[in-house]
């Protein structure tokens, strides 16, 4: 199963992708929203994990883009912002799950498994 991880912080990007690779997933990464959109088109991932605050294109715009193109791809939003307004906006746009930083990589894997099985 192919998962796209979108995160502008290199250390977190590596940590998440390493954890998912260890769990047996095929991981592709993007460091900003713009390249994430290109990879969604070219790589056709089956799940997207995205941060909210990113350069060029925000995570919420990615959620909206995915849901407008193909609503079948589940999206997990990962963000430092835990405000009700942001969480609700993400869900209204079609996000399937929301995790607030700091997060546990093990918990993330469980949420990924829940959405992919």
Partner 1 sequence: MYICNVKELFTPHQLVLSMMVFLAIIFMMILIIIILMILSHARSKRESDLNNRLDNLISELSLCESVDEFDHFLSQHSTTKILKEIASSKKSSLFVLRKISQAYLSLKGVALDHLKSLYRKMDLERVVFRELNSRKWHRRAFAIQVISRFGGYDAIEILRKFINDNNVHVRTEAQIGMVRLNGFDGFADLLDLNESISEWQQLCLIYVSNFHQFNHVWILKKMLKSTNEGIVVLGLKLTMFYSCFELLEDVRMLKSHCSEDVRKNAKSVLMKFQEGELLWN
Instruction: Map tokens 């290199």 to a residue.
Output: 10
Nearer to partner 1, 42 or 106 (CB): 106
Question: x/- binding map, residues 6-45, to partner 1, per CB under 8 A?
Answer: ---xxxx-xx--xx--x-----------------------
Stretch that binds partner 1, among 3-11, 40-48, 65-73, 89-97 (CB under 8 A): 3-11
Q: How far is the CB of 47 from partner 1 (least distance, A)?
A: 19
- Collapse the DSSP code of 78 into the 3-class scheme (helix H, G, I; strand E, B; otherwise coil) and give the result: strand
CA 11, 15, 20: angle at the middle one, nearest 5?
Answer: 150
Contacting residue, 24, 72, 84, 102, with partner 1 by CB under 8 A: 102
Question: Residue 43 gets which letter from DSSP?
Answer: H
Question: Is residue 2 close enough to count as binding partner 1 by CB under 8 A?
Answer: no
Polymer length of the chain: 117
In Å, how far are 37, 63, 65 from 40, measured between CA atoms? 5, 11, 10
**Residues within the interface to partner 1 (CB under 8 A):** 9-12, 14-15, 18-19, 22, 80, 101-107
């Amino acid at each position: 199963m192919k998962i796209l991880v979108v995160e502008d912080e290199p250390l977190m990007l590596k940590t998440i992708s390493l954890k998912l690779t260890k769990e047996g997933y095929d991981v592709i990464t993007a460091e900003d929203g713009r390249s994430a959109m290109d990879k969604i088109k070219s790589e056709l991932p089956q799940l997207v994990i995205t941060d909210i605050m990113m350069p060029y294109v925000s995570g919420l715009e990615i959620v909206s883009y995915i849901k407008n193109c193909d609503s079948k791809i589940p999206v997990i939003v990962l963000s430092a912002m835990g405000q009700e307004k942001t969480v609700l906006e993400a869900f209204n746009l079609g996000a399937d799950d929301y995790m607030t930083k700091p997060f546990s990589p093990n918990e993330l894997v469980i949420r990924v498994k829940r959405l992919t099985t």
